[in-house]
């Protein structure tokens, strides 16, 4: 009986040992399967991310796709390493790299989304009835399509205007701005694009918009923006102008000028040509005015606290009457339009968009000459002005009258005019005599003023 019990115990112990051994063996096989299973799961996850990225990038630019493919190639190597991890590699080390890879891919996709949005905004948000822009029916990437629609130009000059400023626009058409066939000739032969820039009224299609449509049909010199006009929306309008202009014209420079400023086209072109070979150029009359925190003031800055203590000044930026930026800066504004902050004053906003970039600020005082007699004196000393206006009025005071008649019955254009137009003038002999005679009178009056025979205050009464 004792032997029988001993035999049973031995048999039970052997059975228990066999069971434990089988359980350990089974766990060992499971552990061996964990690594390949984990590798397969991660491989499938990465492949899914790759396919999603490929599906999105098929709608973006070729150039951007090439940049993405370099990232995807890196991801492919990463996936291969994950798969090879099942044969003895450090699977944990590769898994830790996966979040970084996904983050890099997400950043690339975000960049492409931003570029695509900018291209689509430029196409859908602009309307240029004086110029027929062919539509693309192909499924090419956005950048390729945008480039195919752009026209080459040297400079695009956008004249900021409002619904109530028809008389101002007419005064420019009658003085320094070509019109009709001359405007078209200037575009085709010199690559100089000039447009009045305006958006839409709050009630789109209303009386104000219809009046602009009639004026556009007659003159064909407007650039319409997908933007609601308003004095407090000038920063948005400036941002929209550059984005729209870049989508339509591939120009060396983009200029913004107000509709109460006298512009010498010939001198403007000559000035811009000096900087044609340089990248990232920002040209204008640089200033640094005080940050106005008082709410009752016209140029009140609601975000004054961002500029430091009370009494501080703005950073250097070009005055808003006229300034120019090069192609790469306008493109930067177009691409990053959605995230560019807007301050109360549009010239400050532009300066803030560029101050953190590698940009050459050019302080050109010829772009902010005064009206006669200041611009006359500048011309007589050989320093012909690019633009003239009155600082006290942030433009030419009573510009409609003075642009055409002005001081001593002489128009600003005649008195500050220089024979440096980018297009040859086809004046007849009588008109040349008229201009010469007026210029002589202007010089005589200027000499009398300098000699003290005339008092400036008396001459400026009519202004």
What pLDDT shows up at residue 412?
A: 62
Q: What is the pLDDT of residues 131-161, one digit of tens each?
A: 433 333 333 344 444 455 789 999 999 999 9
Token pair 């299609």 in the structure block, residue:
205
Which among 379, 367, 366 is positioned nearest to 443, based on CA atoms?
379
Token pair 């005019």 in the structure block, residue:
417
Q: What is the pLDDT of residues 424-446, one digit of tens each?
A: 444 443 333 333 444 444 454 44
> Across 285-294, 413-422, 435-444, which has the greatest mean pLDDT?
285-294
- Sheet with strand 151-160: strands edge to edge: 126-127, 222-228, 192-200, 151-160, 249-258, 317-326, 281-287, 360-363
**Helix ranges, 222-360 (H):** 234-248, 265-273, 327-335, 346-354
Contact 86, 36 (CB under 8 A): yes
Element (H, E) at 136: none
Q: Which residues contact 44 (CB under 8 A, 6 or more apart)?
A: none
Least-confidence region, from 60-69, 173-182, 236-245, 433-442: 433-442
Q: Is the pLDDT of residue 85 over 80?
A: no
Element (H, E) at 370: none
User: Using CA atoms, how far apart are residues 340 and 352, in angstroms rounded to an integer?
Assistant: 9
Peptide bond into 373 cis (omega under 30): yes
Sign of CA dihedral 228, 232, 236, 240: positive
User: Using CA atoms, how far apart are residues 9 and 17, in angstroms rounded to an integer?
Assistant: 12
Ranges for all domains in the chain classified under CATH 3.90.550:
156-368
Q: What is the CATH number of domain 156-368?
A: 3.90.550
Whole-angstrom Cα Rg for the chain: 34
Least-confidence region, from 11-15, 179-183, 332-336: 11-15
Q: Is the pLDDT of residue 371 over 80?
A: yes
Q: Which residues contact 246 (CB under 8 A, 6 or more apart)?
A: 122, 254, 327, 330, 331, 333, 334
| 20 vs 238 pLDDT, higher one | 238
108 confidence band (pLDDT: 50, 70, 90): low
What pLDDT shows up at residue 90?
A: 59
Task: Report residue 300 as tokens.
Answer: 């009140």
User: Averaged over 374-392, what is the pLDDT?
Assistant: 83
In eight-state DSSP terms, residue 170 is H
Token pair 């030419």 in the structure block, residue:
396
Task: Report residue 149 as tokens.
Answer: 């629609």
């Amino acid at each position: 009986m004792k032997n029988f019990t001993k035999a049973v115990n031995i048999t039970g112990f052997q059975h228990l040992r066999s069971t434990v051994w089988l359980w350990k063996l089974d766990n060992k096989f499971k552990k061996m399967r964990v690594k390949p299973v984990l590798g397969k799961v991660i491989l499938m996850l990465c492949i899914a991310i790759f396919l999603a990225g490929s599906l999105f990038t098929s709608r973006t630019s070729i150039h951007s796709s090439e940049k993405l493919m370099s990232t995807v190639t890196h991801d492919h190597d990463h996936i291969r390493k994950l798969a090879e991890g099942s044969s003895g590699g450090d699977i944990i080390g590769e898994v830790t790299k996966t979040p970084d890879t996904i983050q890099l891919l997400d950043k690339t996709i975000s960049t492409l989304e931003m570029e695509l949005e900018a291209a689509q905004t430029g196409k859908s948000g602009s309307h240029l009835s004086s110029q027929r822009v062919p539509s693309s029916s192909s499924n090419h990437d956005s950048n390729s399509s945008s480039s195919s629609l752009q026209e080459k130009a040297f400079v695009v000059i956008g004249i900021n205007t409002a619904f109530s400023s028809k008389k101002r626009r007419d005064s420019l058409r009658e003085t320094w701005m070509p019109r009709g066939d001359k405007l078209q000739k200037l575009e085709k032969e010199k690559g100089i694009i000039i447009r009045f820039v305006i958006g839409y009224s709050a009630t789109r299609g209303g009386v104000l918009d219809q009046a602009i449509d009639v004026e556009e049909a007659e003159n064909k010199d407007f650039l319409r923006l997908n933007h609601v006009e308003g004095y407090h929306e000038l920063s948005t309008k400036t941002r929209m102008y550059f984005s729209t202009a870049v989508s339509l014209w591939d120009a060396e420079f983009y200029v913004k000028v107000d509709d109460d400023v006298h512009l010498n086209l010939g001198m403007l072109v000559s000035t811009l040509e000096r900087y044609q070979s340089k990248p990232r150029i920002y040209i204008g009359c640089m200033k640094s005015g005080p940050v106005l925190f008082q709410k009752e003031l016209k140029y009140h800055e609601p975000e004054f606290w961002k500029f430091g203590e009370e009494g501080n000044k703005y950073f250097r930026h070009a005055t808003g009457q006229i300034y120019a930026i090069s192609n790469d800066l306008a493109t930067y504004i177009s691409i990053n339009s959605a995230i560019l902050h807007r301050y109360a004053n549009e010239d400050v906003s532009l300066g803030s968009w560029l101050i953190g970039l590698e940009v050459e600020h050019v302080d050109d005082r010829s772009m902010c000459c005064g009206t006669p007699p200041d611009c006359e004196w500048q011309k007589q000393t050989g320093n012909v002005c690019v633009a003239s206006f009155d600082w006290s009025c942030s433009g030419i005071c009573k510009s409609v009258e003075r642009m055409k008649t002005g001081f001593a019955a002489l128009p600003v254009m005649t008195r500050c005019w220089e024979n440096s137009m980018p297009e040859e003038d086809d004046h007849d002999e009588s008109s040349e005599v008229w201009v010469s005679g007026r210029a002589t009178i202007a010089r005589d009056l200027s000499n009398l003023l300098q000699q003290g025979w005339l008092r400036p205050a008396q001459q400026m009464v009519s202004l």
